[in-house]
Copies of this chain bind each other. A is one copy, B any other.
Amino acid sequence: MGKGRLEAFSDGVIAIIITIMVLEIKVPHGEDFAALQPLLPVFLSYVLSFIYVGIYWNNHHHLLHAAKNVSGGALWANLHLLFWLSLIPFVTGWMGENHWQPLPVALYGFVLLMAGLAYYMLVRVLLRIHSADSALAKALGKDVKGRLSLVFYALAIALAYVHVGLAIGLYACVAAMWLIPDRRIERHLQESQG
């Protein structure tokens, strides 16, 4: 089964998710800095979520690029991932609207955790239809970063009830960990072509 339309559909959904989040930043009625001020947590939440969705698009791009083909199960694993990503605008809006209260911050982490698990499941489904010496299998390796992210999300959910700053700091750390370019797949692809 070709992967073209899976990529196109995922691009569409992720493009919409990353863009409609901005609709949660409601246009204020005032016209001065005071009117903007209550929007600051909403804006910062938007920045964080934009980076996260961007990371997912980036990783998804690399993953599908390395995959040779997809199965019917991969279509559903992909939809499962898109489901959790589609909840990011809601949890982002709730977290921002409430100026980072414990429950919204924990729920944000929960959605990230579920999206991370869904991504992990998509990877497993794809690996099942690729041989152990495929570009995909080599590129992913042990996926330390992916597993570590899940641990950090779980930790952040618990920490949200201690101090929300700790939880948000952890979310930012995980994002930073992914922003550092992940050369694994690129390098292996280059080697296999070299």
Contacts and interface: CB of A to CB of B under 8 A. Distances in A.
Given A32-B103, A36-B103, 20 more contacts: A1-B65, A2-B65, A8-B11, A9-B14, A19-B86, A22-B86, A22-B87, A25-B90, A27-B97, A31-B101, A31-B103, A31-B104, A33-B103, A50-B83, A50-B86, A54-B83, A58-B76, A72-B183, A73-B181, A76-B179
Task: Give this chain's copy count.
Answer: 4
A16 interface: yes
Interface of A: 1-2, 5-9, 11-20, 22-25, 27-33, 36, 47, 50, 54, 57-58, 61, 65, 72-73, 75-76, 79, 82-83, 86-87, 89-90, 93-94, 97-98, 101, 103-104, 107, 179, 181-183, 186
A16 B16 contact: yes
Contacts of A75: 58, 61
Contacts of A97: 27, 29
A146 to B, nearest CB: 17
A109 B97 CA distance: 26
15 contacts: A2-B65, A7-B8, A9-B15, A17-B19, A19-B86, A22-B87, A23-B23, A23-B89, A24-B27, A47-B83, A50-B86, A54-B83, A57-B79, A58-B72, A73-B181
Q: Which 5 interchain pairs have the tightest Cβ spacing? A: A12-B15, A31-B101, A27-B93, A16-B19, A31-B98
A18 B22 contact: no
Nearest to A29: B97
B18 A19 contact: no
Contacts of A86: 18-19, 22, 50
A8 B7 CA distance: 10
